[in-house]
Amino acid sequence: MTLLAAGALTSCGSDEKTSPGGGSSDAVVIDITIADGEVSPNGDAVDASVGQPIELCVDSDVADELHVHSEPEQEFEVEADPGTDQVFTFSVDLPGQVEVELHELEATIVELVVQP
Ligand SMILES: [Cu+2]
């Protein structure tokens, strides 16, 4: 067994810029902050590809549920844990527009535009 170098553990948001054509195996990283009843981002469009890993890094001061309105729908439990990144990774199997919604707040966080 070999250990991965510590540097391989990237923290959320440190790696947002991926160059086009760099291959679709890079994850799309979306930094999400939920604080004082507001969520950021709030409805932004984000490009992704079918099968590409999508990483939601959530910092929240309230418990809630993330809904990914893909087929099938995917759900993640968010805990109230401000200052800590909770990371949820998923991918989407079908091209199209997929909302990532915060259930209790009824807010659309991002609208994924999933390319074939
Ligand atoms: Cu929903």
- The domain segmentation of the chain, as residue ranges, is 25-115
CA of 71 to the centre of ligand 1 (A): 12
Cα of 59 from ligand 1 centre, angstroms: 19
Q: What is the pTM of this model?
A: 0.81
The per-residue pLDDT for range 82-111, each reduced to its tens digit, is 999 999 999 999 999 999 999 999 999 999
pLDDT for res 16: 46
CA of 65 to the centre of ligand 1 (A): 8
* Strand partners of residue 35: 38
Interval between CA 15 and ligand 1 midpoint (Å): 28
Tokens linked to 21: 């054509």
In this predicted structure, what is the pLDDT of residue 25? 60
- Which residue has better confidence, 13 or 31? 31
Please give all residues whose CB falls under 5 A of ion ligand 1, grouped by chain where several chains appear.
67, 101
Are the C-beta atoms of residues 36 and 74 closer than 8 Å to each other?
Answer: no
Fold for 25-115, please state it: Immunoglobulin-like (2.60.40)
Coil, helix or strand for 6? helix
Read off the pLDDT of residues 44-80 as tens digits, 9 standing for 90 and up. 999 999 999 999 999 999 999 999 999 999 999 999 9
Give how far Cα 33 sits from Cα of 36, 60, 85, Å: 10, 6, 9
